[in-house]
Structure 1
Amino acid sequence: MKKFFSLLIVSALGGALSLGSYVLFFDDEPVYLEETPSIPDYTPVNFESVPGSSMADFSEAANESIHAVVHVKNMAITRNPFSNSRTGIALQGTGSGVIISPDGYIVTNNHVIQNASEIQVTLNNNESYMAKVIGTDPKTDIALLKIDAEDLDYLPFGDSNNTRIGEWVLAVGNPFNLTSTVTAGIISAKSRDLGMDSNISSFIQTDAAINPGNSGGALVNIHGELIGINTAITSQTGSYVGYAFAVPSNNARKIVEDILEFGDVQQGILGIRGVQASRLPAEMEINITEGVYVDYVEQGSGAHKAGIQKGDIINRIDNVNIRKFSDLKGYIDSKRPNDVVEVQVLRGNDEKVLDVKLTKYETYQIKAIGLEVTNANPEDLKRNKVDHGVKITRGLTPQMQNESLAGTLITAIDNIPVKNIDDVKRVMSGRDPSDPISVTFIAPNGEKQKYVWR
């Protein structure tokens, strides 16, 4: 805990981040790309359609899409350091967005508009509007904007579950500040887990060219339906080299609907912990390579009530085959609490089909200490020999992420016992933010420690 204690006196790192797109390295944390100050050089190329193939003509889908994709500018207000008066507007970064309704609702990536003082949206016809943030979900990197306009061209949501590997797709956005750009490719993979600190672990992978500035733009099928929100690339240069990733439309649509209906994202869970069957140790002698092995079933969860047991292998949910864990998480993330899903499990040599009612996954971010918590279950409390507490799910800052505190319990804040996240909310909302905050931790070994943030 020495490393943890040292972090308590280190001030938060600041820095200006360009908000155009991600660059990902498979073994590193994702970082933001800086917008290039000039357009890169071109080499002219010609595209010859495949003889006898009508699939090579994307003009109809492009025409339907290009008017529904907007240029998003993240603006920051500059102020006089002496008088704190407003002196002007500075451009922090740019990206793309997708109009999803004729009255001006726009989906984009959260990182495109993060920390913006003002957001300017420019349509394909060069009309500009100031946008209002309706809601954001940083975990999934989705944000919902609204502009005051009517009768806009928009993209209908397609069903990302029905997309197929090898299917033609278009990426529409504003790379390198080049407005209204369309690139073509195929779906290279589905349910791609990039290991990001994100709730989305089920990206659509495409080889359509996506570059800085494409973030928040549309991935569409040949029918002009929105099947993904372009979000990330993997590259050691910062530009497209063949791999790009989009949040599936079913996930994005669910997030948007949650924001509009509830004000935040409603996350349903099965109530299990699992591991990909292909990653099980050889000594377990399970000769199955596809599916999710159930390692733990939470008491009182939908999975527990439906009869799912430790040792079951989940290989199908509703009409979706489950080959790996990202298949399962990607599908469940498109559902809400109280939705009922049909789960097919392999138990020994028998297949069973069980109806599972999803339960709500509730978390709360204690931003003052850079940690997210959820309610602890009875097993968590018993294991740590306490009768109350909340469980840390993840760190919100790089410093706290490095401490690997997930699973550690918090039993008190400012010496006030906390039994659930509602208690945490009450304590945090009732305290003076300028006062030091003390937190009592119960480490996995049962050791109680208290730390103070000043």
Structure 2
Amino acid sequence: MKKMWKNMLGVVLVAAISSGAAIGTSAYMMKSEQPVFATGVENTFKQPLRLANYNSVAAENTDFTKAAENTVHGVVHIKAVANAKEPDGGGQYVDPFEFFFGNRGFQRPQPQPRVGSGSGVVISTDGYIITNNHVIEGADELEVTLNDNRKFAAKVIGADPSTDIALLKIDAKDLSIIPFGDSEKLKVGEWVLAVGNPFNLTSTVTAGIVSAKGRGLSMGGGSKIESFIQTDAAVNPGNSGGALVNTKGELVGINTAIYSHTGNFAGYSFAVPISIASKVASDLKQFGTVQRAMLGVNILSVSDISERLSMPNLDAKSKSELEAMKSKTKVSEGVYIAGFGERSSAKEAGIEIGDVIIAVNGTKVKSANVLQEQISKYRPGDKVEIQVDRNGTVKMFTVELRNMQGGTQIIKGGDSTEVLGAAFKVLTDKQKLQLGVSYGIEVTGLTKGKLQDAGIKKGFIIMIVNNQQISTPEDLEKIVESILQGRSEDQGLFIKGFYPNGRTKYYAIDLAE
């Protein structure tokens, strides 16, 4: 009996010593806050100890089924048909060889219609659908097929090549929709689903994560607004215009492009954020054209300054300008103001060349793409708070945004301002004295429109339009609107004027085209 108690006492003693050693070691480890690498090598970097959270859910256990079920019915298939165009010279073709040696004519093969396809997202129960402009561009007929296989003819409400967004309408009711989410709250690493019709395979859902935000691809020149959500969700031809949704089933983007050498998915896909797409769709529905707000600045991402300086064969002038920019920049992220446009609202608000925009309405701005995205959410006449870094000092400015013609008014689709694509101002008394005229208006800015297409340049003085003297921009607008509304016998504009160098010019513009 004595021996048995002795053995039990030994076991308890060993257990107590072992427990004490373990507790002491744990206390020492937590006190030192130095995690140990799996190899047994101590981490010599100053880092707090982080213990694993046993309540965390592994990524592979994320449930996508609800999001998929709630979104497939709100994504449609779009068939775009471009009718065959008859070649010049008619359908009868005589081969010269046959003419001389066989004396026979034969019928040229008839051109066939071109058919393309893509996807779209239902955003209202009464049939409004967002898709990409490139899905419907050039199409003569559009057919929308719902997830339940019902088919509808669709009409284009409006399209915006700058953001590659278009708005369609079908005559239907009680449709399933995908509610808008907040693309600005998306985080890199967050799960998303791409829903669409790749290769005409309807109701296809793929999953991936947000790989980057504010990504630019340099796809289409300076007029393009590119601030894409980059994901690794598989997107292929036919997915264009489809939905990018979060795990709640909310629409956060419109799938638009892939980066590939083969034309098929190669690991990267890009979506227009819904913060941009929804505003464009709303403008197209309400006004018939996009209300493009402008700061009136020439910009360059801070990160691009050093990159351009390292370019080979950089000319001396460019190098000097870039070095001057770099010397003024005290931050590593933001958008450098390199210059101002005509009637710049940013300049009038007090922003200066050399300032670096670091935030818009409290949202951090890292690059020119992000700045474009933020400003594109607003309309002319809206006021925004612009935060800039000026030589290391942060300053705030309130800027009233303007349209591309330099005004703050809303432009409606088909009105004279949009059709002409120009900004005008009344000649001052000083200008009239210098130019030797008593009336006329000056072209102060040009965007895509009839005047630019005709070859009119900024600075041109318009004197007479359709035999009427022009003293104010309103005089010209009345003439244009009377033609557009069918209240005039004229079908176009015959403009007489001159440039400041004295050269008289005449321009004929057909408004019926």
Please report the TM-score for the alignment, with normalisation by the length of structure 2.
0.64
Q: 2:388 aligns with which of 336, 342, 345?
A: 345
In structure 2, what is the Cα distance between the partners aligned to 1:306 and 1:374? 23
Aligned pair in 2 of structure 1 residues 177, 299: CA closer, same or farther (>3 Å)? closer
Q: Secondary structure at the match of 2:59?
A: coil
Q: Secondary structure at the match of 2:339?
A: strand
| 1:394 Cα deviation after fit | 6.3
In structure 1, what is the Cα distance between the partners aligned to 2:283 and 2:368? 24
Q: 1:411 aligns with which of 436, 439, 460?
A: 460
Q: Secondary structure at the match of 1:388?
A: strand
Does the 8 Å CA contact 2:331/2:392 hold for their aligned counterparts?
no
Q: Secondary structure at the match of 1:254?
A: helix
Matching residue's letter, 1:351: V
Q: How many matched pairs?
A: 382
In structure 2, what is the Cα distance between the partners aligned to 1:442 and 1:225? 54
| 1:196 Cα deviation after fit | 2.7
| 1:156 Cα deviation after fit | 0.8
Structure with greater helix share of residues: 2
- 1:47 alignment partner in structure 2: none
Aligned pair in 2 of structure 1 residues 449, 161: CA closer, same or farther (>3 Å)? farther
Matching residue's letter, 1:263: G
| 1:51 Cα deviation after fit | 7.7
Q: 1:226 aligns with which of 248, 251, 257?
A: 251
Asked if 1:251 is matched to 2:276, the reply is yes
Asked if 1:242 is matched to 2:267, the reply is yes
In structure 2, what is the Cα distance between the partners aligned to 1:421 and 1:143? 31
Does the 8 Å CA contact 2:384/2:400 hold for their aligned counterparts?
yes
- 2:204 alignment partner in structure 1: 181
| 1:375 Cα deviation after fit | 2.6
| 1:377 Cα deviation after fit | 8.8
In structure 2, what is the Cα distance between the partners aligned to 1:199 and 1:372? 21
Q: 1:147 aligns with which of 170, 176, 179?
A: 170
Asked if 1:320 is matched to 2:363, the reply is yes
Asked if 1:106 is matched to 2:129, the reply is yes
Matching residue's letter, 1:345: V
Does the 8 Å CA contact 1:390/1:420 hold for their aligned counterparts?
no
- 1:5 alignment partner in structure 2: none
In structure 1, what is the Cα distance between the partners aligned to 2:182 and 2:405? 27
Q: 1:69 aligns with which of 67, 71, 75?
A: 75
Unpaired runs of at least 5, structure 2: 1-55, 92-109, 306-321, 436-440
Matching residue's letter, 1:279: D
Q: 1:123 aligns with which of 143, 146, 151?
A: 146
Asked if 1:334 is matched to 2:377, the reply is yes
Aligned pair in 2 of structure 1 residues 354, 413: CA closer, same or farther (>3 Å)? closer
Q: Secondary structure at the match of 1:228?
A: strand
| 1:376 Cα deviation after fit | 7.0
| 1:301 Cα deviation after fit | 4.0
In structure 1, what is the Cα distance between the partners aligned to 2:179 and 2:120? 14
In structure 1, what is the Cα distance between the partners aligned to 2:251 and 2:475? 37
Aligned pair in 2 of structure 1 residues 233, 321: CA closer, same or farther (>3 Å)? same
Q: Deviations over 1:341-377 (max 9, x none)?
A: 11111122321122222122249999xxxx9954379
| 1:68 Cα deviation after fit | 0.5
Matching residue's letter, 2:443: G
Does the 8 Å CA contact 1:292/1:324 hold for their aligned counterparts?
yes
Q: 2:192 aligns with which of 169, 181, 194?
A: 169
Q: Secondary structure at the match of 1:409?
A: coil
In structure 1, what is the Cα distance between the partners aligned to 2:402 and 2:507? 34
Within a 5 Å distance, the mapping from 1:19-418 to structure 2 comes to: 52-53=58-59, 56-77=62-83, 90=113, 92-197=115-220, 198-280=223-305, 281-284=322-325, 285=327, 286-298=329-341, 300-362=343-405, 373-375=421-423, 388-393=442-447, 409=458, 411=460
| 1:439 Cα deviation after fit | 10
Does the 8 Å CA contact 1:374/1:421 hold for their aligned counterparts?
no
In structure 2, what is the Cα distance between the partners aligned to 1:309 and 1:79? 53
Q: Deviations over 1:73-124 (max 9, x none)?
A: 1124569978xxxx99945211100000111111111121122222111111
| 1:279 Cα deviation after fit | 3.3
Does the 8 Å CA contact 2:421/2:447 hold for their aligned counterparts?
yes
Does the 8 Å CA contact 2:443/2:462 hold for their aligned counterparts?
no
Q: 1:426 aligns with which of 471, 476, 480?
A: 480
- Of 318-327 and 276-285, deviating more is 276-285
Does the 8 Å CA contact 1:191/1:327 hold for their aligned counterparts?
yes
| 1:265 Cα deviation after fit | 0.9
Unpaired runs of at least 5, structure 1: 1-49
In structure 2, what is the Cα distance between the partners aligned to 1:226 and 1:76? 30
Matching residue's letter, 2:229: I
Does the 8 Å CA contact 1:343/1:356 hold for their aligned counterparts?
yes
Structure with greater strand share of residues: 1
| 1:245 Cα deviation after fit | 1.4
- 1:16 alignment partner in structure 2: none
| 1:392 Cα deviation after fit | 4.4
- Of 139-148 and 282-291, deviating more is 282-291
Q: Secondary structure at the match of 1:255?
A: helix
Matching residue's letter, 2:172: A
| 1:149 Cα deviation after fit | 1.5
In structure 2, what is the Cα distance between the partners aligned to 1:322 and 1:448? 46
Larger Rg: 2
In structure 2, what is the Cα distance between the partners aligned to 1:440 and 1:236? 51
Does the 8 Å CA contact 1:228/1:252 hold for their aligned counterparts?
yes
Aligned pair in 2 of structure 1 residues 79, 243: CA closer, same or farther (>3 Å)? closer
CA RMSD of aligned residues (A): 4.1
- 1:37 alignment partner in structure 2: none
In structure 1, what is the Cα distance between the partners aligned to 2:65 and 2:459? 57
Matching residue's letter, 1:409: K
In structure 1, what is the Cα distance between the partners aligned to 2:392 and 2:84? 66
